[in-house]
A and B are shown apart, each in its own frame.
Chain A
Amino acid sequence: MTPTPSDLPEAAKRRLSQGAFTSGLSVSDFAACLEMGLEPLGLVQGFCAMQWTTFGSFGRGVTPFAGSSSGYVENYQCPHGMISSEHRMWGQNYEQTWIENSWRDGFNSAYSRMLEEAGTLGAHGVVGLIDSEGPLSDVGVVEFHLSGTAVRVLDAPAPHHVWSTYLAGQRLAKIFEAGYAPVSVVSSVASVRVLSSCITEYLMGGTGAMWSVNAETTEIEQIVSAQNESRAIARSFVRAQLHGDALHGASMTGLTREFAQGDLEIQSRLSGNRIRRFKDFDPLTAPRPTVRLS
């Protein structure tokens, strides 16, 4: 393993060098680990607190260049012409790459700190990983927190690098049985800002019928595009981290924040386990249906 500069606190080094192990595993997961020949070494954690600011946008509604981005951008021009200075003549969807990069920095810092603790313990991997993010205070600080149980593979040579997985217990055992090796957890966030055009704003406010020939229901194209793009971007980020491996047990969640009327951020987060096939797959026989009597 390539030595990297350590930012592990002295107290943490002292604690980790002590004898008793700690673990976040339930008793059943602990038993499954021992069955697999994985010896728990310690509950390892990584933290990172990031300054978190969502920038506003100048020139919103009057120019197609209100938000700039090196990624996805889509403009929506008003079909009505000049009506008033408050009329949103331009709407825009744009990818907030700086939000995505900051999120990645925060997650990766906490992740690498957690792995560093695992490496200090001589672990081969980290199982049962849990990640969370949330406001640390009311002053625009977001905390990234990852934790998991560092494990050593019994009778295996010293590790070259530490693997990680959200899985533990029976599910992890089945991954190995199915011929997969856990490589790492992968996670990404895509952020798309929506500065509504006049049509989008009217439709989101329920007054679209006043401006449209169609006085009934209409698909809100700008929002739909932002939602679908944010999901596609999150998936492309994760695919870029797979390097030919597979993503298993993924979880995709969406979040919409409204900063002002017609000013939204649509976020998609995708997390999962990067796994690698190490042997040919032997399919099981068709499962036998059972009825449980308890």
Chain B
Amino acid sequence: MSAPVPEIPLDLRAEVRRAVASLDHESRDSGSMTSDLSIDEELNLHSIGWEPVALVSGVSVFSVPVGCWNWGQGEIAVASAAQAHAFHHAITRIHTEAANVGGHGVVGVHIERLVYSTHIEVSLVGTAVRPVGAGAINGSGIFVSDLSARDFTLLMIAGWEPLGLATGASFVFAPRRSVATVLQQQSQNVELTNFTEAMYSARESAMERMQQSALAMHGTGVVEVKVVEGPMRFAGHAVGFVAVGTVVRLAKTTHQLIHPTMVVSLNDQNVAFDAQTLA
């Protein structure tokens, strides 16, 4: 798994010539692997004995009854449920695709989430991965994670393992103020407690759901939690809070200390090829 570092530095120019010359020959089996990982990520995976297998995806769209955003009190339960179901079905589909290609997990999942007044869409795209040369496993052991391959590698080195995506969502009405309150606050810059309280309410429900989801997977915690919160652009008195993260669990008996080395980078900021400059 971990080969010794070669003592002779690689002659990169010779490698390039060798690579180009190989193009004149028949294709050597590269396994028809498909992946959206960068070469750094692929090399990181290989360093811990894992490899990419295939690009996989999952989509779900759930309806939301018209008008549910406009009037009411408390949580907009049907919208929260639509978001939860859409996540669940999209995760199930990407999980199934990963199982079909022999993956043991999916890393670097890109999450696209669209909320419209009448439907909610969740789209997931990621790369199925497995230990090098390993066969297919039972579907229940396959994880789906939005951690990058680099973070996945670091997590595994530290003795932890990802279990799946945990999500929590809540949409809540901000109660309308009375006419007297509106008139009173019209010329003042004061806190609008109806919105603050609605946001707190949405946050508590969403975070609790995400944590429940982590516990259901027998996870210890959730890392890389991403939070999206704010008003709905199509409903002035509704606020939403969505949290997504990767559930992790200690796989070894104890956490493995990784002792990072401190470095001072001599690179300047401009290291990447910026395609936009040519657009």
A residues apposed to B, CB below 8 Å: 24-29, 35-38, 124-125, 128, 130, 132, 147, 153-157, 159-161, 163, 167-171, 173-178, 180-183, 203-209, 215-220, 223-224, 227-228, 231, 235, 238-239, 242-252, 254, 270, 272, 275-279, 281-294
Which chain A positions have C-beta within 8 A of B18? Answer: 278-279
Smallest CB gap from A24: residue in B:
B278
Smallest CB gap from B266: residue in A:
A294
With the chains together, A101 CA to B27 CA distance in Å?
26
Whether A285 contacts B5 by the Cβ 8 Å rule is: yes
Whether A177 contacts B13 by the Cβ 8 Å rule is: no
CB contacts under 8 Å to A, within B19-49, are: 19-24, 27-40, 42-44, 46-49
With the chains together, A29 CA to B250 CA distance in Å?
41
Whether B62 contacts A218 by the Cβ 8 Å rule is: yes
- A–B pairs, 11, beta carbons within 8 Å: A124-B20, A132-B279, A175-B39, A218-B62, A220-B119, A270-B55, A276-B28, A285-B5, A286-B48, A287-B154, A294-B264
CB distance from B77 to the nearest CB of A (A): 8
Whether B63 contacts A285 by the Cβ 8 Å rule is: no
B60 within 8 A of A: yes
With the chains together, A153 CA to B42 CA distance in Å?
25
With the chains together, A35 CA to B270 CA distance in Å?
18
With the chains together, A52 CA to B60 CA distance in Å?
30
CB distance from A24 to the nearest CB of B (A): 5
With the chains together, A87 CA to B59 CA distance in Å?
28
B261 within 8 A of A: yes
A249-B38, A285-B5 are contacts. A177–B12 as well, Cβ < 8 Å? yes
Whether A206 contacts B66 by the Cβ 8 Å rule is: yes
B180 within 8 A of A: no
CB contacts under 8 Å to A, within B119-139, are: 119, 121, 123, 125
B89 within 8 A of A: yes
With the chains together, A180 CA to B18 CA distance in Å?
10
Binds A, one of B78-86, B189-197, B217-225: B78-86
With the chains together, A216 CA to B65 CA distance in Å?
7
Whether B47 contacts A252 by the Cβ 8 Å rule is: no
Whether B66 contacts A228 by the Cβ 8 Å rule is: no
Whether B47 contacts A246 by the Cβ 8 Å rule is: no
Q: How many residues of B contact A (CB 8 A)?
A: 88
Whether A181 contacts B262 by the Cβ 8 Å rule is: no
Contact of A231 among B38, B47, B57, B117 (CB under 8 A): B57
Whether B39 contacts A174 by the Cβ 8 Å rule is: yes
Most chain A CB within 10 A, of B62, B117, B265, is at: B62
Which chain A positions have C-beta within 8 A of B228? Answer: none
Smallest CB gap from A181: residue in B:
B19
Which chain A positions have C-beta within 8 A of B216? Answer: none
Q: A272-B34, A283-B46 are in contact. List 12 more A-B contacts (CB 8 A).
A: A36-B16, A223-B61, A238-B34, A242-B34, A246-B31, A247-B32, A247-B35, A249-B39, A252-B55, A252-B57, A277-B29, A285-B47
CB contacts under 8 Å to A, within B200-256, are: none
Whether B42 contacts A293 by the Cβ 8 Å rule is: no
Q: Name the 4 nearest CB pairs between A and B, nearest first.
A: A206-B66, A206-B118, A181-B19, A37-B13
Most chain A CB within 10 A, of B4, B44, B119, B154, is at: B119
Whether A37 contacts B29 by the Cβ 8 Å rule is: no
Which chain A positions have C-beta within 8 A of B16? Answer: 36-38, 153, 176
Which chain B positions have C-beta within 8 A of A182? Answer: 19
With the chains together, A155 CA to B79 CA distance in Å?
64
With the chains together, A119 CA to B6 CA distance in Å?
37
B263 within 8 A of A: yes
A205-B118, A290-B262 are contacts. A244–B30 as well, Cβ < 8 Å? yes
Smallest CB gap from A227: residue in B:
B59
Contact of A37 among B17, B60, B66, B263 (CB under 8 A): B17
CB distance from A161 to the nearest CB of B (A): 7
Whether B12 contacts A36 by the Cβ 8 Å rule is: yes
A155-B17, A290-B262 are contacts. A285–B3 as well, Cβ < 8 Å? yes
Which chain B positions have C-beta within 8 A of A244? Answer: 27-30, 32
Whether A224 contacts B61 by the Cβ 8 Å rule is: yes
Whether B2 contacts A242 by the Cβ 8 Å rule is: no
Contact of B3 among A217, A224, A250, A283 (CB under 8 A): A283
Whether A206 contacts B27 by the Cβ 8 Å rule is: no
Whether B36 contacts A125 by the Cβ 8 Å rule is: no
Whether B118 contacts A216 by the Cβ 8 Å rule is: no
Whether A228 contacts B261 by the Cβ 8 Å rule is: no
Contact of B89 among A25, A163, A219, A278 (CB under 8 A): A219
With the chains together, A105 CA to B65 CA distance in Å?
42
Contact of B27 among A26, A167, A208, A245 (CB under 8 A): A245
Most chain B CB within 10 A, of A35, A238, A277, A291, is at: A277
Whether A216 contacts B270 by the Cβ 8 Å rule is: no
Which chain B positions have C-beta within 8 A of A278? Answer: 18-19, 22, 28
With the chains together, A170 CA to B272 CA distance in Å?
9
Which chain A positions have C-beta within 8 A of B85? Answer: 217, 219
B1 within 8 A of A: yes
B93 within 8 A of A: yes
With the chains together, A130 CA to B277 CA distance in Å?
11
Which chain B positions have C-beta within 8 A of A169? Answer: 271-273
Smallest CB gap from A238: residue in B:
B34
